[in-house]
Amino acid sequence: MTIWQTARSYCEAGIEKTLTFKSPENPPRPVIVTGEKEVRIIVLACGTLPEGYSRWTLRLLSEKLVELAILPTAIRETVRRTLKTELRPHLNKQWCIPV
């Protein structure tokens, strides 16, 4: 099936369009965490700890985000994915070591 779709794409659009990855125009779900919300999550995670805790957990961060009305609902996976991509730049495809 992949070979057939690739051959069809080449015949219809040419080599350049066939070899470039195109992201979907309408993602299946709207993006929840963008711009300012992303920054607020990072600031919260890097900020002071709540009383009685030695570190932030994903569950604790999720609860705090809802409490502060940064996100209407937050699940641990959303918080984990945001922190993973923003606090570990080496995992980003565009990240490179300057020469």
Give residues with Cβ within 8 angstroms of 73, minimum separation 6: 66
On whether the pTM is more than 0.85, the answer is no
Q: At what angle do helices 76-87 and 35-46 cross, to 10 degrees?
A: 90
Residue pLDDT, tens place only, 40-67: 988 888 888 888 989 989 999 999 999 9
Which residues of the chain register pLDDT less than 70? 86-99
